[in-house]
Amino acid sequence: MTRQLIAGNWKMNGTLAAAEALARALLDAPRDGIGAELLVCPPFVHLQAVGRILNGSDVALGAQDCSVAAGGAHTGDVAAPMLPELGCTHIVLGHSERRQNHHELDETVREKVVAARAAGLVPIVCVGETEEQRAAGQQDDVVGWQLKGSLPNDFADGPGVVAYEPVWAIGTGRTATEDDVAAMHGFIRAELVRQFGDKGASVRILYGGSVNATNAAALLGVPEVGGALVGGASLKPQDFLSIARAAVSGPNR
């Protein structure tokens, strides 16, 4: 049986001391009732410190972005090969905040996926529609194009994750309904199979968008939901672990 993945995206939050305290709190908390895989993605500047604390534990470490280049004259960027040295195994790519705030195109996200894979990282590729696009009934078209443009042709050949995050539900307290999630995750699964054949059936699909300890059980129980990409609640150890306790195991997880 496949376990769900509960990934915490810490975004641009926390001092060094706060990040270290959060990591230690996750490790010190009781593990009863948690069968999910756990992952946290701190800001770049805290990766080394958090990685040292998590080293050898059941909590994996991930980054929030990388450059398309493997190195060179790219001031301010971070190359994917630098990240495994800090203990990273995963990386979040194409988050809506990157797409909007940094004008990242699907093609850019795809190039980053290729760079991350070459460095041995598991990419978590984010897709999702805005409120205006959903109101216009364009959510399937938008997400379908993002999948087609953001995922390289060999995406389903190795470990890779897709995260559906409706932009209108990120950090707003609004959450997609179970029916909304079921419909979109079913659509994404069908698109993955269409793009990659049978291999697309095994790609894990996370849900993200104001996931919290209260709604986690309902959302994680939806078919084709392979886990959660958690934002604000991942900064609160007890809330994050409560979400993890709500995880389920089974096919298509």
pLDDT at residue 1 above 60?
no
How high is the pLDDT of residue 61? 98
How high is the pLDDT of residue 41? 98
The answer to whether the CB of 151 falls within 8 A of the CB of 110 is yes
* Average pLDDT score, the chain: 95
User: What percentage of the chain carries pLDDT values higher than 70?
Assistant: 98
Task: Summarize pLDDT for 10-21 with one digit per residue, the tens.
Answer: 999 999 999 999
Instruction: Report the catalytic residues.
Output: 95, 165
The answer to whether the CB of 113 falls within 8 A of the CB of 151 is yes
Q: Residues marked as binding for substrate? A: 9-11, 171, 210, 231-232
How high is the pLDDT of residue 227? 97
How high is the pLDDT of residue 250? 58
Task: Summarize pLDDT for 89-147 with one digit per residue, the tens.
Answer: 999 999 999 999 999 999 999 999 999 999 999 999 999 999 999 999 999 999 999 99
Q: Structure pTM?
A: 0.96
Q: 93-103+124-253 in CATH: which number?
A: 3.20.20.70
| Lookup: tokens for 188 | 């994404």
Burial of 47 (0-12, 13-18, 19+ CB in 10 A): buried
Name the band, by pLDDT with cuts 50, 70 and 90, for residue 7.
very high
Give CA–CA dist 31/26, Å, rounded.
9
Angle at CA of residue 125, ends 92 and 131, nearest 5°: 105
pLDDT at residue 81 above 90?
yes
Task: Summarize pLDDT for 162-211 with one digit per residue, the tens.
Answer: 999 999 887 787 778 999 999 999 999 999 999 999 999 999 999 998 89
59-63 and 122-127: which strand pairing? unpaired
Name the band, by pLDDT with cuts 50, 70 and 90, for residue 249.
low
Q: What is the phi/psi pair of residue 158, to 5°?
A: -130, 180
What is the domain partition of the chain in residue ranges? 8-89, 93-103+124-253
How high is the pLDDT of residue 172? 80
